[in-house]
Structures are given as structure tokens and as C-alpha cells.
Structure 1
């Protein structure tokens, strides 16, 4: 973003009335016919912990249900107003938001400024323990709703959120943040209707929102069904071509792949590299969709609260014991590149080799560990049991063989792992895939800011890092912001609260009827075109 006296994002008629793109059927297997009626697409998911967008920010189901104030248009790949008419600020600290006229929820009730304010206050309420809570850490009043010392909250509303009238909101942040319009494109900032607050438990089972798809049913451990909503006023760049979306629930990607080969599933995202060649052989090259922008990174995050792993020297030794090149070339078949930074190369703040200990040097690793007093315990690595188990096993074997320490794997269902991570109950390091909700280095580095979004995984805290990240967010000159982010990363890497591993080549699998597309590096099922 270039420096300017006024930051403004304004919706025009053209951005809301986009022409439909042409559809052509890709070859390969027959598309699955799931759900009710024609033009139905099915996708792989795990049993959701929640389908309320604010409670599970990364949920593909939540994304389909919600229309945010801002959103990336899949046709232009630009951030544009969606439910908002305009988002403006003179200083990046106080933001004026005007809503589109005439928008409603799926039940026909109006979407108002209060719909957003009420949802934000509920999400920011610490006692609710909604996963999207950290999104509001920079809003004025958040600290009184989430006191860091464990004391009782002294407020139940964000003082920085003011409802001016039905179509106008004013938001005051604790410090300038040029990324604020991007934050408004994320699930935790979705609105909620007034009816939701009458019975939140009932709402959880049948959420009502304002997005391109509406909720139909949730058969636990089987499927979630969504239907295209005729009342959605966003353009084609903000939705997909299916009339019905069916999220089929699996506990492992292998079972989903088997269903796809049988013609019973249309879409899988985050396809493991170990599955790519098999898919090419069995389903054909046309079944694979390669994401254009590399936005994801695999890391090994180290919780500060696990005493046995607190030593930065131990973490560096672990990193040096992993032969990333060998794993990338053999097991991952070249469908990944070794990572040497906490941010992916697709971002401007990327500095090659910022992780000096992300090379393979087992002798140096053993010396560092010996000089640090050794390690007599067992390194526990927790991971999502639904994916990447071969990769986690390969990493564990490298550490065990090359560093000479005991390693124990602990695969867990995704919902349980998420809960353990967010509530700081991990027993060891955690392997995971991290991607941005919006394109910014802050999406990666804020994990290492005290109280920042995603910080619960490691609990890492460094006052100088906090200072630099705060300055970077408030800097309207993109080049200066990039420099500040890079400085913050260099400090974080000295402590190594996370070990960068791989930048995966991101693939999705699609049937004949599904036409996947990505939005700034993220595959979203509800944006898929229907090609049959």
C-alpha cells in the first residue's frame, strides 16, 4: 500500500456486478453427484468443532456462509469492499465503515452496523473462548475484556467499536494498522443476526449469516450441506457455481482420496505431496489444480511452556538435524522447497536464509546440543492425524537418527489438536501447516507477538519484537514496513520459537465437474466453478 493522506476502499458498481467467467469442463473422472438436485459439488472436511465463522476462523464452511465487509475478488485478485460500501481512514487508527444498502441475512432480516458490532463484541469476549478472539486484540477496549493477568473482565463491549447508525460503524484501534481493511476480510469479523444471541447453542447447530451459501443441515461425523443463496448481492468473484455444496466428513485424506477415485467426491485441498504422483496416474493430470501463489508453510512450533524444550540451542540443534533437501526430493517428490524463513518467499519481507540454522549439519547440531548440556528427555511431536503423517514420521526419524535423541509421535484429530494448541495444553512440539488469511507478513509474524493472533501455540514473548511489529503495522510506506517486519523476524529467529521446514507446492484435487480456483494462494471450495 502506498503512502497517502487517506486510506480508502470504496465499492463501485463494477466491482459488484462482475460478468460471469466462461466454464469449460476439464477431463478426467465423472463428477460426484452429492446433495440435493443438480449442480452439486462435494468436498472433503473433518468433523467441524464449529461451523460458526467466528468460532472457527479457518473453516471452509464458515467462509461459504459469511460475506465480510471486505473480500478478495477471485477474478481480479484484489481486496475490494463486499458487504461494505467503503472503508476509510486518515491515520490508519480511526476507521469509518459504510455498509452496502439493502443487504440481509439468510432469514431476511437486515444486516446493520449493529449486526457487526454485536458479533465482534461476542467474539472478543474472552469467556466465550471463541477461536476468532485474537482478531480483535488491536481494537480499543480489548484489554478490558481480556485482561492478561487473569483477573475478571471489566467490560463486555469493545470501546473502540461505535455504531453511528444502521449503515455506519467507526472503529478505533490502539495503534495505526494499515492492514485493517484486510482484517475485515476474515471470518472472525463476520456479522451475526440479532436472533443468534437469543440461544447461541441453537445458533451453533444452524447458523444464519449473509454469505453466498446458506446452511441446510449438519449430520455429525457424516456431512454438512449448504445451498446457494439467491439473495446474495455480491458479484461472481465472491462465490462459486455449485447450487449445493456438501462437506463430506473424513478422519483421513486417504479415505477421501479413495472416494474421489470412485467418483464419490469432487474436491480435496492441501493434497499431501506423497499423493500427487498417484493422483496423476489414477485420475489424470487434469485432476490436479496447482495453486498459483505459495502462501503456506510447514513448521515445527515449540511451546515456551514445555520446560524441556525452552533452550534455543536445543531448537537450533533439532533444526540442523533435519535434511530438508533429502525429504523434499525423495518423500515429497520435489513438490516442496526447504524453508529458510518464517515467512514464505511470496511476500516482500522474505529474506533468503534468515533462518541460519535451517541447513542440514548434523555434526554442528550434535556439538550445539552437547555444549548446551545435552537432552535426556523425549521430544514429543504432535500433529493432525488426518494428513501428512508420512512427512511427520520422516522428520522424526531424521531428528532421532542425526541428533541421537528420543522422538515420540502423537497424532491427534484436528479438532482436538486445535483445542490443545489454543489452550496451551501441548506436550511437545507441534507440526502444522500455516497460511495467511490475507496477504501480509503480519499473518506469520504476529504469531510471535505477545498476545497476538495465533500466539497461543508457542506463547513466545519478546518486547523488542512486539515494538517492531507494532511499528510495521502502523507504517503506511510499504518499503519501510517490509524492513521493520524483517528486523522483527531476525530477532525471533535467534530464539527460534518455530522451526521452518517446507514451503509445499499446494495442490487441490478436482473432479470433472469441479473447477477450482485460488484466492491469493488459498483454495476455497465455495469459489469453485461448476463444469458439468
Structure 2
């Protein structure tokens, strides 16, 4: 499979592929200087060509698709790939490092509770007006209403310090706050009242929205005055192409690229002349184990047995054709994270059976049904492998498919606030966000994990994010992951790699491990 293995990827990161890291932030009194645009480096040594139309299919649309008839807003945008039209203060690059975007510098206070951002000068919105601190403050006030949980949950208030300076006052110290303002919904809009802001479709991105069908497709034309420079393409068109619509649209010539292809269709795309580019990782599948009812997995030994019995390597080999790929470590950490701590020992069916016997199940155990909806096309092929490998240790678990339409209400309709045993989808983020999703402070996703070890886990990650020293943060994050691997609040399968298929003449198109961070201004068509 094309792309880098996790080992190769992390080797490149450690060799200096990232433009800057958080370790550079903590020279007291020195602001983080704006770095050379990572975007310009994407085409270094190449000769891009101006012109052409990229018509791409997206197999994994925005989860909020169809919830509003005003799809020109990034909250309700067709696609999670919002950076064709909009920008944020920060972007997360392909090494999972934060890069300054609309911000030209970012400086934390000594206690990490205040972050000052200087804004780039001369950034224009698509209507020709210049972006100022007023726009950023209004945008963040809107996001604080709840649309971006990482802002509403972390930011106390935001104020303008001048026409191009903004200060964030946080509720608690956060060494990794740059990642929070890089979220795909945390875009900067023209200032307006909360009921109107963002709904005009105007952003600062490389393409200007010209047409949208809220549930199916959009068109956006090149914005010559973009702050990154005019993009190479004349136009970008995005089309929702779920299931076989993706490969059929590609074969018919209607699409010249498809993001998030079904890994089971790579050969079909290649037979149709496509090139495949794979990110080093992608979303994960998290099996939630509710513990506030009388389930067998309330006993930690049953959870440990499940973690030991699931054959994650077989999933990689059969579903992804990637036998040496990364696997989940039963936290929300992702294989692309430099702080990721692999589970020790691998699969051990004999030990799983012994743990079940210790827990009072010498003849095996039947678990309650678990539900999923196929957000990604390969999911229905994953869960038979999960069930079969668990059964080899005497663990009987049925995973039942439900339609994605209405799945969330179905999943949370009983056993409040946790809901039914089910699969949740987890995208890759930075360590604090990843591990906070596992924290007992998150009332739903950890499935009711509680007790002294859960409290110690939470204390470790809160200490980590309030620590300026990167080495100490890494030590704390590793300690937290070891607790979670021992306690197994849920099962993380891992292993997914986001992939894009494209025609050979579509150059420099990239699949990003953090799917929504894919960009378009460095793509061109070599006609």
C-alpha cells in the first residue's frame, strides 16, 4: 500500500519534518514567530500549472449533513474538509504539528492560561474586506455557544487588543491550546450577530463558494487575492459519493479524485488508472462498554480479556492489506501521535481465557450486543473479524449494524447518559484532547469508567496539559496510557489509514491522517 508506515512516519518527524513544535513555545517573554508557510513547501522543486477543475468525491460526509438548509456554513458544510473555503487561526499539518494559519504569532503566558495571537496583515475575505481582530472575536464568541466544544469548554473569554491582536483567557492551563483553535469548525467568519454569522459562505480560503446543493455537491472558484497566494486550480467541486457511487463516478470520468476510499476497492481504483496516496493513520473505531448496568465487562478482568483476544493485526491484514500497520492501544491516542504508547505483548488468547476463568467464566462469557453504523465503507468487514477473534478466547459478542440515519438517537435512547454498547468513531487529535475523551469527565464515551485509577488517569492528563516542559508532558501522557491499558475502559481497534484515489494528472493531492485538515491550494492538474 502506498504511503508511510508508522515507524517510517515517526522517523521522518523526529528527523525534523515538522516546521515547529510546541517545545518552541516556552521561552518566557518570546512570542512564537510566524514560520514560513508549510503550504509553499508542498510544491518545492516542482513546476505547478495554473488552471483546471478538481471534482472530488467524498465518501465520508460531515456528520451534520442535512441538519440545516443553509449548508454554506462550515458547521453544516457537505464535507469535513472545510479549508477549501475557510481558514482558522491554526492548522494541523501532516505530522500532527500545529502550524500558524491566520495567526502570525501565538504566545502563551507563563501559567499557560492566557494565549495572545497576532493576526496576519492583509488577509482578505472573499468579499474584499480585510480580516481584523473584530472578526476573530465575533467568530470565537459564536464557537463558544457550543458549536466547537474545544473552545466552549476551554475558553472563558476572548478580547481584541488592537486591530490585529486577540487574547484568549482560558479556564485552565493548556500547553496544547493551538490544536483547539485548529478544529475544522473553528473557522474565522466576518463579524455578525450570532444568528447570522458564518451563513453567508464567505471565508478567507483559497476558493470562493459559488454554488451549493446542501446535501449533494458544491462549487468554489479560485480566489486570486487569497493570503496564501492564488491557488493553482481554477475551481474545486465536491460531491458526496457514498458506497459504489465513488468508484462508479471515477470510472465514468465524473470524478478525478475520491477522498476516504474503501480500502477494499483500491484494486478497482488502480485498475481504472488511479493512483492511491495513503496517510499514516486515520480515524479509529472505539467500542464503548457501558458499566452502569450489570454487564460482565464491569469486571476489569473481562475487559482485559477482550483487549487480549481481539486480533487487531488480522483486521489490518484482511481489511487494510497492511499487516505491519499500527493498531489501537485502548486509549483514544492514534498511531500518528508521537506520544502514542503501543500495548505491550500483543494478542494472547491463553491469557484471555485465564482472566475469564479468574472472573468466574471458565466456560467463556456471552456479552450484550453491540451496535454500529457504517460511517466508513469497510466497517461491516471489520466486525466479523472482531467477533471471530473474541470467540477464540470464549468471548461471544454480536455486533449489529444499524442505519446511520437516526443512529445517535437510537444509541443514546436507553441507559442514560451512556446509552447502548456501541461503536463510536474517533478522529486523531493531540494527546490532551485524545485522552480527555477517555476521561471520567466525559460522561458518555468512557462508558462509566470510575474509581481510583480513573481519577489518577484524569489527574495525570490535567497535570500534563498544564506543564510547559515537553519531556515531562510525554512522561505524564505515557503514565496515563499505561493506566488505561490496564483498566481497559473500552476497546480501541485502530489501524485505519485515510486514502485518496486520484487520476495521475491530479498532482500533489494528499490524504491527511486528520481527515478534515486536508488542503487544496497546493493541488494542480498537469493537463
TM tier, shorter chain? 0.7 to 0.9
Q: 1:29 corresponds to which residue?
A: none
Tell me the distance in 1 between the aligned counterparts of 2:390 and 2:422. 13
Tell me the distance in 1 between the aligned counterparts of 2:513 and 2:484. 26
C-alpha deviation, 1:422, in angstroms: 9.0
Is the counterpart of residue 479 in structure 1 residue 471 in structure 2?
yes
Is the counterpart of residue 111 in structure 1 residue 125 in structure 2?
no
Q: 1:207 corresponds to which residue?
A: 201
Structure 1 residues 168 and 265, CA gap change in structure 2 (3 angstroms):
same
C-alpha deviation, 1:481, in angstroms: 0.5
Tell me the distance in 1 between the aligned counterparts of 2:234 and 2:289. 43
Tell me the distance in 1 between the aligned counterparts of 2:478 and 2:78. 26
C-alpha deviation, 1:244, in angstroms: 1.9
Tell me the distance in 2 between the aligned counterparts of 1:58 and 1:488. 36
C-alpha deviation, 1:408, in angstroms: 3.7
Is the counterpart of residue 339 in structure 1 residue 328 in structure 2?
yes
Tell me the distance in 2 between the aligned counterparts of 1:386 and 1:504. 10
1:496-518 CA-partner distances (Å, limit 9, x unpaired):
22312232344321123323225
From 31, 34, 38, the equivalent of 1:8 is 31
From 195, 216, 219, the equivalent of 2:210 is 216
Structure 1 residues 328 and 231, CA gap change in structure 2 (3 angstroms):
same
From 355, 365, 369, the equivalent of 1:379 is 369
From 254, 258, 269, the equivalent of 1:268 is 258
Contact 1:318 1:365 in 2 (8 A): no
C-alpha deviation, 1:483, in angstroms: 0.6
> Which residues in structure 2 correspond to 1:480-519 (within 5 Å)?
480-515=472-507, 516-518=509-511
Contact 1:305 1:459 in 2 (8 A): yes
Figure out how many residues of one structure are paired with residues of the other and give that number. Answer: 482
C-alpha deviation, 1:328, in angstroms: 3.0
Secondary structure of residue in 2 paired with 1:378: coil
Contact 2:39 2:522 in 1 (8 A): no
Structure 1 residues 248 and 467, CA gap change in structure 2 (3 angstroms):
same
Alignment root-mean-square deviation, CA: 3.8
Is the counterpart of residue 65 in structure 1 residue 81 in structure 2?
no
Secondary structure of residue in 2 paired with 1:186: coil
- In structure 1, the gaps of 5 or more residues are 26-36, 141-159
Tell me the distance in 2 between the aligned counterparts of 1:455 and 1:464. 19
Tell me the distance in 1 between the aligned counterparts of 2:285 and 2:85. 28
Is the counterpart of residue 178 in structure 1 residue 175 in structure 2?
yes
Tell me the distance in 2 between the aligned counterparts of 1:207 and 1:15. 26
Secondary structure of residue in 2 paired with 1:391: helix
Is the counterpart of residue 300 in structure 1 residue 287 in structure 2?
yes
C-alpha deviation, 1:486, in angstroms: 1.0
Contact 2:232 2:523 in 1 (8 A): yes
Structure 1 residues 497 and 334, CA gap change in structure 2 (3 angstroms):
same
Tell me the distance in 1 between the aligned counterparts of 2:87 and 2:192. 18
1:318-367 CA-partner distances (Å, limit 9, x unpaired):
3333222333333443354443453344433333325x685444533643
Secondary structure of residue in 2 paired with 1:96: strand
Q: 1:82 corresponds to which residue?
A: 101
Q: 1:322 corresponds to which residue?
A: 310
1:396-451 CA-partner distances (Å, limit 9, x unpaired):
343356535351412332x7456777996742220535322xxx322421211344
- In structure 2, the gaps of 5 or more residues are 1-21, 66-70
Secondary structure of residue in 1 paired with 2:398: strand
Contact 2:314 2:385 in 1 (8 A): no
Tell me the distance in 2 between the aligned counterparts of 1:372 and 1:431. 30
Tell me the distance in 1 between the aligned counterparts of 2:223 and 2:512. 21
C-alpha deviation, 1:184, in angstroms: 2.6
